[in-house]
Chain A
């Protein structure tokens, strides 16, 4: 037999090894348990981080969308913090029921943890006629001019007249000669920008510390569309001269043109004395202008009709009313100077660069135009948020 087995030498080593193995086993089990706890805590922490990554992705996409409301690119696995986010954009192109809503869906990842949030955004609509008169640079009243307001949705001018409504505002100055009455508030964004003549009064509040407003330009694409789809002259009847190549509309003395519903595009409109632009019964007309408008003495535009049914959008630099005109419409021309000759009566709302009302000219704001929407401001706002 092997001589080595005949001695007890080395048993201490065996016992020590056995003990070490048992202790190691216990230690490994203990470490394993605490490892599970640590992993649990890490998972929870990663999940929190993934959630905030998803939020970050959604916020970033929201900012990008506000810079450009056509932005639909999204982000693909963009690194952020300890992980990454991916953003997808959904709109009515893929889901018609969304209409103008844009949905931002953002997924955040940190290691194996994943969280997803959804942000619903809608465009901010532009209400161009919340003021009776808005001018970028200045508004000037000659003596005895006035403004008041009515609501053509509810009734006639006489039955809905509110003498102390109809605000006017400008980024620049408001100046009046004597005996002018401004029915609503008068606001400017220029310190000391309101100067009233003797006996002139503002029935509402005055403020010269309003924030400056940048008037949104109507996009050229909209004018191009209007030019391509203009119903001039097929939608027009009466006595008029329309040049299809220059798009100029001219009415001679005492002439009348009647417009049916649709979009019209003109370069210039020139009305002779006592001429008349009328709307067919129930017609809704939008006119886009590349140039100027001149209304001759005592000419009439949509007289007695609802201003909301006739809207002018202009790239021109001038809208001129000679004396005694009647104008029931809204006009939006951020570059235009509006010259309002004496005794002209305008019912509606005006937005321009500068507005000058001559002696005795009165302006009647139609409060129903306050709800008219024209396109969007390009800005998007959040309306709903959820975690998926």
Chain B
């Protein structure tokens, strides 16, 4: 039999305590590091989601707005802005198709948030179909009519969680994406 197993000598209680203490310190710092990294990753994910929302919403609205007026009857308006609502008219499946974009309260995400920092749904409604949610963390939309065939669209999106490291706006970050849309059918 191995000589070592016949030896009854082990670690002293002091050695074990020190080992436990060291392990505890290392584990605690590791956990703290993990939590901070996780928070930071969540914030980054929120920021990325916010930016993506702003860009993709803008791309969607710009794509529709660009073809406003397509084959419309003479004299029919190509688009109409009413606050944060945008009506785009063209003729594709019907003599006049209407696409409506508007903002609606995002009740799901709004709970527990300061009333001035509640995200909104960007809704899209085509003709008489039921409106669908296009994106969910939009804060505001601005349509600035530059001339008869140019509209500047700005979309502001926000993060869905407050971020302790962000001192302004109750910890909610926001991101605005802007594009100047040239309405092709009005400039030809």
Contacts and interface: CB of A to CB of B under 8 A. Distances in A.
A9 interface: no
Tell me the dominant secondary structure on chain B's binding face: helix
Contacts of B44: 34
Contacts, number: 41
Contacts of A41: 52
A385 B55 contact: no
A228 interface: no
B66 interface: yes
B10 to A, nearest CB: 14
A152 B3 CA distance: 131
Interface in B47-85: 48, 52, 55-56, 59, 63, 66-67, 70-71
A16 interface: no
Contacts of B66: 385, 387
B41 A383 contact: no
Contacts of A40: 48, 52
A37 interface: yes
B188 A386 contact: no
B70 A385 contact: yes
Classify chain B's interface size.
20 to 34
A385 B90 CA distance: 10
A384 B70 contact: yes
A33 B188 contact: no
A48 B62 CA distance: 11
B55 A44 contact: yes
B169 interface: no
A33 B52 contact: no
B54 to A, nearest CB: 11
A387 B68 CA distance: 10
A22 to B, nearest CB: 10
Contacts of A381: 188
A100 to B, nearest CB: 16
A30 B71 CA distance: 49
B56 A6 contact: no
A44 B2 contact: no
A387 B2 contact: no
B185 A44 contact: no
Contacts of B59: 44, 47-48
A293 to B, nearest CB: 42
Given A44-B55, A48-B59, A386 B67 contact: yes
B170 to A, nearest CB: 25
A50 B44 CA distance: 28
Interface string A355-387: 000000000000000000000000001111111
Nearest to A55: B184
Contact of B67 (A6, A34, A387): A387
A382 B188 contact: yes
B62 to A, nearest CB: 10
B9 to A, nearest CB: 14
A387 B48 CA distance: 28
A65 to B, nearest CB: 14
A1 interface: yes
B168 interface: no
B185 A384 contact: yes
B41 A385 contact: no
A6 B2 contact: yes
Contacts of B70: 384-386
A385 B45 contact: no
B164 interface: no
B63 A384 contact: no
A44 B56 contact: yes
29 contacts: A1-B2, A6-B2, A6-B4, A30-B41, A33-B45, A40-B48, A41-B52, A44-B52, A44-B59, A47-B59, A48-B59, A120-B71, A381-B188, A382-B188, A383-B188, A384-B70, A384-B185, A384-B188, A385-B66, A385-B67, A385-B70, A385-B184, A385-B185, A385-B188, A386-B67, A386-B70, A387-B63, A387-B66, A387-B67
Give the top 3 A-B pairs by smallest Cβ distance, nearest first. A385-B184, A382-B188, A386-B67
Interface of A: 1, 6, 26, 30, 33-34, 37, 40-41, 44, 47-48, 120, 381-387
Given A30-B41, A33-B41, A385-B184, 10 more contacts: A34-B44, A37-B52, A44-B55, A385-B66, A385-B67, A385-B70, A385-B185, A386-B67, A386-B70, A386-B90
Interface of B: 2, 4, 37, 41, 44-45, 48, 52, 55-56, 59, 63, 66-67, 70-71, 90, 92, 184-185, 188
